[in-house]
Structure 1
Amino acid sequence: MRTLDRLYIGGKTRMAQFINGLKRDESGVSSIVATVLLILIVVLLTAIFWDNLQKWFEDIWKRILGESI
């Protein structure tokens, strides 16, 4: 039983130290923020120019299928 207790306490301590280290580490935060901002910009631009993009895609699709424009 003592061995199990020591293993449990050791594992719990290591996990707590690992989580505290993750909370203090801010090295990846700026890349995540930059990625989220880029995705937001792409979604907003798509929403703004949706009508133009839709017409453009329809024209391209008609050309691919060989339909007359």
Structure 2
Amino acid sequence: MKMLDSLCIGAMVRMTAMKDKAKDFVKSQDGVSNVVATIIILLLVVMLIAVFWENLQEWISGMMDQIFGTTFDDSGL
């Protein structure tokens, strides 16, 4: 009987420790908000590039004209 009691008490102690570790793990999940913020920033950058795409093509063409002294065909961009 003593052996069963000690096994039961040991199992209860381990379960309580596991429950506390699970609670601490759930509370420490602050990294998820950082991932979401990074994805939102990337989406904003992509949207800004899409909005200003024509201006970027003109700017790149102007830069290439100045660098190489020739015209730059931006139809492939």
Q: TM-score range by the shorter chain?
A: 0.5 to 0.7
Q: Which amino acid aligns with 1:46?
A: I
Name 1:43's counterpart in structure 2: 46
Give the C-alpha shift of residue 27 in structure 1.
Answer: 1.6
Q: Percent identity?
A: 39
- The 4+ residue runs of structure 1 with deviation greater than 4 A are none
Q: Provide the residue aligned with 2:74 in structure 1.
A: none
Structure 1 partner of 2:62:
59
Q: Which has the higher contact order (CA 8 A, sep 6+)?
A: 2
**2:33 counterpart of 1:30:** yes
* Structure 1 unaligned regions, length at least 5: 1-16
1:66 CA displacement = 2.2
- 2: distance between equivalents of 1:26 and 1:52? 41
Q: TM-score, normalised by structure 1?
A: 0.59
Structure 2, unaligned stretches of length 5 or more? 1-17, 72-77
Distance 1:29 1:55 in 2: 39
* Residue correspondences, number: 49
Whole-angstrom CA distance in 2 between matches of 1:64 and 1:38: 32
